[in-house]
Amino acid sequence: MKCTKCGGKASIELRRHNAAFCASDFVEFFRNQVREAIRKYRMFGRDEHVLVAVSGGKDSLALWDALIADGYTTTGLYLDLGIFDYSVESHAKCEAFAESHGVPLIVSKVADEVGAPVPVIKQVTRRPPCSGCGLSKRYLMNRVALEHGFPVVATGHNLDDEAATLFGSVMHWQTDALPRQSPALAATHPKLVRRVKPLYRLSEREAAAYAFLRGIDYIVEECPFAAGATSIAHKEILTRMEEASPGAKHNFLFGFLDKARAAFERAEAVTLNECTRCGQVTTGTVCAFCKLSDQVKRAR
């Protein structure tokens, strides 16, 4: 198989694009997709300092690498979830990346902020671990960005993540979740920082290929709590569909973004308040993070 661009030996085939690329042309393809995402959704400008949320995995480190390569000013944010050896190793990967690229990394520990690490939160809440973990991540990303004065947080969510989330929302017709699904969420409150997903045009296979070809040392092992997660089941279904019909995931997500999302956006009317405890944004009186923190404290 030959590279569609230069005719050299291909390293990766992208069936949904009916193309194949050699290593160097694939890296350029990947960066062009990131550039197009940033341009289309006006995610951030050259003059803005971007906080990149990194987990030590392929997606977030690939994103950080691509932004650095394009000359953006970035700082990494690693949230230590306290998930046994998995967190120790993923933290080390982020530190090593930051050091080798000469970029700063902020570390925030969930255990310090909530009162317990994710495994204990799981026991206390008796809910799936991804629930408390995701809540803590979203809250801390926003709070750290605000405290340090970053105008925008970029995350490594890719096309597969977004298609799987959309699939889950549609399966249950969670119409309140649909308008919030976007590659870029504006700061709709003075205490909400803009959130963007510059990898939304790229599949996780493409992110893995980019990370490998760029020599990024990322954590390959899966989070021990991810086994059996609904999001994984949805991804497996979508990957089977993609195998049978290349472009299926792309068409599902992009069709929603281009044709359907606006209809649900008009239906949304949410009042944003400030949490009476921590001052962060909530739709109620006390935010979900403070309630989680209370629950953890009561149980310990």
Residues that bind another protein (CB under 8 A): 1, 10-13, 15, 20, 23, 57-59, 129-131, 133-134, 137, 155, 157, 160-161, 164-165, 203-205, 207-209, 212-213, 220-223, 225-226, 229, 231-232, 235-236, 239-240, 242-243
Residues 6 or more apart whose CB falls under 8 angstroms from that of 247 comprise: 15, 16
Contact 159, 34 (CB under 8 A): no
* Helix/strand/coil for 185: strand
Is 235 in contact with 164 (CB distance < 8 Å)?
yes
Helix pair 230-244, 248-255: axis angle to 10 deg: 120
Least distance from another protein to the Cβ atom of residue 235, Å = 6
| Smallest separation (angstroms) from another protein to the CB of 40 | 21
Residue with tokens 């990024």: 216
Shortest separation between residue 265's beta carbon and another protein, angstroms = 22
Smaller CB separation from another protein, 49 or 109: 109
170/229 with CB nearer another protein: 229
Residue placing its CB nearer to another protein in the complex, 7 or 149: 7
Cα distances (angstroms) measured from residue 113 to each of 109, 242, 266: 7, 40, 35
Token pair, residue 113, equals: 């902020």
| Closest CB to another protein among residues 92, 267 | 92
Nearer to another protein, 65 or 204 (CB): 204
Taking the complex as a whole, the smallest distance from the CB of residue 89 to another protein amounts, in Å, to 13
**Least distance in angstroms from the C-beta of 13 to another protein:** 5
Contact assessment for residue 129 and residue 117, using Cβ atoms and an 8 Å cutoff: no
| Nearest distance in Å: CB 263, another protein | 25
Nearer to another protein, 80 or 204 (CB): 204
Contact at 8 Å (CB) between 73 and 176?
no
Outline where 3-83 has alpha helix (H): 23-40, 58-69
Nearest-approach distance from CB 276 to another protein, in angstroms: 26
H-type helices in 54-128, by residue range? 58-69, 84-101, 110-114, 118-125
Looking at the Cβ atoms of 165 and 293, the one nearer to another protein is 165
The closest alpha carbon to 201, from 32, 33, 6, 14, belongs to 33
User: 162: which 2 tokens?
Assistant: 């977004």
